Chain A
Amino acid sequence: KNEVEQSPQNLTAQEGEFITINCSYSVGISALHWLQQHPGGGIVSLFMLSSGKKKHGRLIATINIQEKHSSLHITASHPRDSAVYICAVTYSGGGADGLTFGKGTHLIIQP
């Protein structure tokens, strides 16, 4: 079964801390996505990447294709960053173009 594993499942940190969320997957992919979901809210795409590194504001996403691993970093974390962060992949081959998701990391940033 193709799986996407995220760690940690839950993370509580103090405002200003550097945050790292990890994602690993089991088979070849064509792209990896990081998504954000606020409590009771919708889902927003943060990054889509297939190699290297991308940065947007205080968010940085990296991927290592050989190790089948990606990380999402948040610098200078703020309480408004509190949300569920979801890793998802689009697998190479197969028939489905939809996403396969990890179960998410619930992040709380305390002031």
Chain B
Amino acid sequence: DAGITQSPRHKVTETGTPVTLRCHQTENHRYMYWYRQDPGHGLRLIHYSYGVKDTDKGEVSDGYSVSRSKTEDFLLTLESATSSQTSVYFCAISEGAPDTQYFGPGTRLTVL
């Protein structure tokens, strides 16, 4: 299995609070992605990174920001969490693009 971890795995927070999710990889892959998965919508791309400090927006980027200061870490920040951001968040990595993507175990976020 690809070495990819996400933290925390579960989080409950309140509306209006900032939240940061971390994705960490040990594969030295160039590309990293954040997706969210919701019933009725499936998986959707939030942001992606194609190198250190190189990021771009995906389909559902409003309300989210990302940072990648090291190859191995890709952070997703909700500046002021809302209930609509309650979801399961998956990080994925790939060596190239297009290429096979390897997914992390997911983070279940609940915003009350």
Contacts and interface: CB of A to CB of B under 8 A. Distances in A.
B64 interface: no
Contacts of B43: 43, 86, 88, 99, 101
Interface string B77-112: 000000000000010100001111111111000000
Interface residues of A, number: 23
Interface string B10-23: 00000000000000
A65 interface: no
Q: Binding site of B, secondary structure by majority: helix, strand, loop or mixed?
A: strand
Contacts of B105: 42
Interface in A1-50: 30-31, 33, 35, 42-45, 48, 50
Given A95-B56, A98-B58, A99-B43, A30 B98 contact: yes
Contacts of A96: 45, 48, 56-59
A98 B45 contact: yes
B42 A103 contact: yes
Interface residues of B, number: 27
Of A43, A50, A88, A90, most buried by chain B (CB within 10 Å of CB) is A43
Contacts of A48: 98-100
B97 A90 contact: yes
Given A86-B42, A104-B42, A99 B104 contact: no
B100 A43 contact: no
B97 A97 contact: yes
A45 B101 contact: yes
A99 B100 contact: no
A100 B106 CA distance: 18
A48 B95 CA distance: 13
Interface of A: 30-31, 33, 35, 42-45, 48, 50, 86, 88, 90, 95-104
Given A45-B103, A90-B97, 20 more contacts: A33-B101, A35-B103, A42-B106, A43-B43, A44-B103, A48-B100, A50-B98, A88-B43, A96-B48, A96-B56, A97-B31, A97-B97, A97-B98, A98-B58, A99-B33, A99-B35, A99-B43, A99-B101, A100-B45, A100-B59
